């Protein structure tokens, strides 16, 4: 297992559409372990393969509370079959967009069909935080980020700010 580097905006890879996985083989299983390790280390609750530069339709999620037992979930080739009319609003952040939180309204409930780590087709109906997180991660597989919910002007301001931060390393005085 290894911790992967998470790519951040404005890396163009984040805008690409990930390819479906044809078979869950050893490479995919290793990637999934790395995704979990990278997500836990970064204190995120979800991570898509594209965020570590791999264009495969694979994502991992764990929305359990810090003090609870871990609840790792892995979704391969996830496909949303149904979305509720009722919506929910969360303030969302993204490991690929440092220090940025945006209020986003999404359908509250979603029904998803996916392949699990053993190659079995599964269905899951989710609500609340899991539903929002899953929709956020599936957006990643289609090259869509939370800043795409904003106007171009606001989006450009955020990208400019992050690009500037990348060029200027943290200044310390010791
Ligand atoms: Ni994200």
Q: What is the pLDDT of residues 115-135, one digit of tens each?
A: 999 999 999 999 999 999 999
Active site annotation includes 26? no
Q: Summarize pLDDT for 63-78 with one digit per residue, the tens.
A: 998 888 999 999 999 9
Q: How far apart are CA 14 and CA 55, in angstroms?
A: 9
Which burial class, exposed, middle or buried, applies to 145 when counting CB atoms under 10 A from its CB (0-12, 13-18, 19+)? buried
Q: What is the mean pLDDT of residues 26-44?
A: 97
- Assess whether pLDDT exceeds 80 at residue 168: no
Q: What is the mean pLDDT of residues 31-35?
A: 98
Output the average pLDDT for the chain.
95
- Assess whether pLDDT exceeds 80 at residue 82: yes
CB atoms within 10 A of CB 82: 11
Q: What is the per-residue pLDDT for 44?
A: 95
Instruction: Give the domain ranges of the chain.
Output: 12-167
Per-chain residues with Cβ under 5 A from ion ligand 1: 94
Q: Which of 60, 9, 34, 4 is nearest to 162 (CA)?
A: 9
- Assess whether pLDDT exceeds 80 at residue 17: yes
Specify whether the backbone of 93 is left (phi greater than 0), alpha (psi in -120 to 50) or beta.
beta
Superfamily of domain 12-167, CATH level 4: Peptide deformylase (3.90.45.10)
CA of 41 to the centre of ligand 1 (A): 15
CA of 173 to the centre of ligand 1 (A): 32
Q: What is the per-residue pLDDT for 137?
A: 98
CA of 174 to the centre of ligand 1 (A): 34
Instruction: Place 1 in a pLDDT band, splitting at 50, 70 and 90.
Output: confident
CA of 137 to the centre of ligand 1 (A): 6
């Amino acid at each position: 297992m290894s911790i992967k580097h998470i790519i951040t905006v404005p890396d163009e890879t984040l805008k690409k559409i990930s390819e479906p996985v044809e078979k869950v083989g050893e490479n995919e299983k290793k990637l999934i372990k790395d995704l979990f390790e990278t997500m836990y280390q970064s204190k995120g609750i979800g991570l898509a393969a594209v965020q570590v530069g791999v264009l495969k339709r694979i994502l991992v999620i764990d929305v359990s509370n810090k003090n609870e037992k871990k609840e790792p979930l892995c979704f391969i080739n996830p496909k949303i079959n149904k979305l509720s009319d009722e919506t929910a609003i969360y303030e969302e952040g993204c490991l690929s967009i440092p220090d940025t939180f945006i209020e986003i309204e999404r359908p509250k409930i979603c029904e998803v069909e996916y392949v699990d780590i053993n190659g079995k087709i599964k269905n899951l109906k989710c609500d609340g935080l899991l539903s929002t997180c899953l929709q956020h991660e599936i957006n990643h597989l289609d090259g869509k980020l939370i800043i795409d919910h904003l106007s171009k002007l606001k989006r450009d301001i955020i990208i400019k700010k992050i690009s500037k931060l990348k060029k200027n390393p943290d200044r310390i005085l010791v």
